[in-house]
Chains A and B, each alone.
Chain A
């Protein structure tokens, strides 16, 4: 089971801003471990969206932004577009049990 908690769903109208939270603990996000975000469009493999807490890979629109604070992180999508309808996952590293990559529970973003 996932150790990072996300809301199951968020929704917004086109052009609006939505945020997704990712809550962890002192053994993962609360350490020096970075948080990364992935977008999974229906029927496709996950795609890296944000790395190192707030960095966008080449080609990712600046409508996507993210931050980390304490044991939580958040992803924001501004100017929501129909093509943003997808599942979003946060990911970090947990140092409590050897090498351990952990994912969030996932959030479905719906564009109304």
Chain B
């Protein structure tokens, strides 16, 4: 069965960086794209970017360009999301999810989420 398993919760100081991992299993890793979506406490879903698991190409919305880097390791079927220059506004649950295509697609499987808390 398809599974996306994310790394555990993180607590970071303002200005620091955080790396979250998302390990895929149950399907051919390189045939799908992986997205990152976050949800601040009590708020809605916000798309943060996408990576081509096969070639490694990425796309990010303007809001996160320069602050988010998504990479992948095909040998372990794992995707990583680095978010830098953290502020309290980055406190949120972060989800990875997969899609079959790069554009105009849906996210059919989601990870369980990783809570990132930014606090001094």
State the A residues within 8 Å of B (CB): 2, 32-34, 36, 38, 45-48, 51-52, 57, 89, 91-93, 95, 97-106
Contact = CB atoms under 8 A, between A and B. Distances in A.
Given A99-B59, A100-B47, A103-B44, A45 B103 contact: no
A103 B113 contact: no
Given A93-B103, A93-B105, A101 B35 contact: yes
B18 to A, nearest CB: 19
Contacts of B23: none
26 contacts: A32-B104, A34-B106, A45-B95, A45-B110, A46-B37, A46-B107, A46-B110, A48-B106, A48-B107, A48-B108, A51-B106, A57-B108, A89-B45, A93-B104, A93-B105, A97-B61, A97-B62, A98-B59, A99-B50, A100-B61, A101-B35, A103-B44, A103-B47, A104-B44, A105-B44, A106-B44
Given A99-B102, A105-B44, A106-B45, A45 B108 contact: no
Contacts of B105: 93
B73 interface: no
A87 B17 CA distance: 30
A100 B65 CA distance: 12
Interface of B: 35, 37, 44-47, 50, 59, 61-62, 95, 97, 102-113
Contacts of B97: 46
Contact of B106 (A91, A95, A99, A106): A91
Residue from B62, B97, B105 with most neighbouring chain A CB atoms (10 Å) = B105
B46 A103 contact: yes
B27 to A, nearest CB: 15
B61 A103 contact: no
B114 to A, nearest CB: 11
A37 B62 CA distance: 24
Given A45-B95, A51-B108, A97-B61, A89 B102 contact: no
